[in-house]
Amino acid sequence: MAERARWYVVHTYSGYENKVKANLEKTIENRGLHDLIQDVQIPLEDVVETKTIKQK
């Protein structure tokens, strides 16, 4: 009987997402957990901030 995949969410500080992903992938490789962890994904969102310039 095949087990259903489970989802886990890891909260990180903004800007450290790729570093956390790399560390997770390295741990998976070093400990041979390829059978237990299928994929590591990072949701990305482009954010553009505009600030108004005020004359003083």
Render pLDDT for 6-41 as a digit per residue (tens, 0 to 9).
888 999 898 899 999 999 999 999 999 988 888 999
Give Cβ neighbours of residue 31 (< 8 Å, ≥ 6 apart): none
Q: Residue 44: pLDDT band by 50, 70, 90 thresholds?
A: confident
Average pLDDT over residues 1-5: 65
CA distance 26 to 15: 19
The pLDDT value given to residue 7: 87
CA distance 53 to 56: 10
Give Cβ neighbours of residue 15 (< 8 Å, ≥ 6 apart): none
Which two tokens mark 39? 């994929």
Which two tokens mark 3? 């087990």
